[in-house]
Amino acid sequence: MGIKLITDSACDLPREYLKAQEVDVIPIYISLDGKEYKDGVDITSEEIYQGMREGKIYKTAQITIKDFEDTFEKYASKGEDILHLSFSSGLSGTFNAASMAAKIIKEKYKDAKIRVLDTKAAVNGLGLIVKKTVDAKKNGMTFEEVAKVAESASAKIEHIFTVEDLNYLYRGGRLSKGAAMVGNMLNIKPVLQVDADGKLKQLDKVRGKRKLYGKILELMEQKADDLDQQTIGISHCDDQEDADKLVEMIKERFGSKDFIISMMGAAIGAHTGPGTLCVFFFNSK
């Protein structure tokens, strides 16, 4: 039978692309004032970022084991091999929920082949991994070969983040209230990454956007030597203007031609706030 690729809504690839490639997307939950929404289904990223600007506070919740069971069983019952590419375990409990669901379904369907991969990635970092995996499947690779491509991509993916308003990091417990206040007053911009454990980590901090862009480009140059040959991922939290500026700088500096630019979903954006900007690529290790 065929290979079924599944991911969750932490993946920022355009939904039109995912639908065309028959990749199922299981939504993460978003809550506001006691009401629950499904990310990208009942509420859009644009609505969330506009709400955050108005002072609304959104919370996220991981996908339930039952949600994963229902999706996995849909395809296991047809004899399809399932590869689920999961949002980083360092940022969410979603991977653990998916793993438990896979175990339950494999007990019910003894011959089922279900693999849950912790990509240690998020947003368009996860998106680039999904894209490489889709390409491997389209090239006729076996299930094991496709899974190896996904593993290799996960080991090489790089995330570089920055946020516009440090108060959102304060609300998420990643920064003290005083540090957020002083940082905003001095126009301090943190430079963040998702590390090898899939956790958000601060790399540096600079003052002002001009130095910020320079630092991002410097880090890209340090980590990869084939950026002109890669598809570069860009995710933003309702800040198309800055995303476009960064794209032009990357084109000029590295000669990159292929980009995936998208609005960041709520899995990360609800915690980092409007103005967040991220770049994703594969390192040359």
What's the whole-number mean pLDDT along residues 157-175?
78
Q: Is the pTM of this model over 0.85?
A: yes
Token duo for residue 90 = 């360092």
What's the CA angle centered on 237, arms 118 and 84, to 5 degrees?
Answer: 20
Q: How do residues 54-81 score in pLDDT, each as one tens digit?
A: 989 898 999 999 999 999 999 999 999 9
Contact (CB, 8 A) for 109 and 72 = no
Distance, C-alpha 70 to centroid of its chain:
23
**Looking at the predicted structure, is the pLDDT value of residue 232 above 90?**
yes
Residue 127 in 3-state DSSP?
helix
Nearest-angstrom CA–CA distance, 78 and 20: 20
Radius of gyration of the chain (CA): 19
- Taken as a whole, the chain contains a residue count of 285
For residue 210, the model assigns a pLDDT of 87
Q: Which sign, positive or negative, has the C-alpha torsion 86, 92, 97, 100?
A: positive
Angstrom CA distances, 226 to 52, 124, 130, 214, stand at: 37, 19, 20, 19
- Convert 72-110 to b/e letters by CB count within 10 Å (16 or more is b): bbebbeeebbbbbbbbbbbbbebbebbbebbeebbeebe
Q: How do residues 117-148 score in pLDDT, each as one tens digit?
A: 999 999 999 999 999 999 999 999 999 999 99
Token duo for residue 98 = 């998916």
Is residue 176 very low, low, confident or very high in pLDDT (cuts 50, 70, 90)? low
**Looking at the predicted structure, is the pLDDT value of residue 98 above 70?**
yes
**Looking at the predicted structure, is the pLDDT value of residue 21 above 70?**
yes
**Looking at the predicted structure, is the pLDDT value of residue 172 above 80?**
no
**Looking at the predicted structure, is the pLDDT value of residue 272 above 90?**
no
For residue 184, the model assigns a pLDDT of 67
Region for 191 from its dihedrals, namely left if φ exceeds 0, alpha if ψ lies in -120 to 50, beta otherwise: beta
Name all domains of the chain by residue range, CATH numbers in brackets.
3-155 (3.40.50.10170), 157-282 (3.30.1180.10)
Which range is least confidently modeled, 22-36, 177-191, 247-261? Answer: 177-191
Is residue 173 very low, low, confident or very high in pLDDT (cuts 50, 70, 90)? low
For residue 191, the model assigns a pLDDT of 87
What's the CA angle centered on 276, arms 84 and 92, to 5 degrees?
Answer: 35
For residue 267, the model assigns a pLDDT of 85
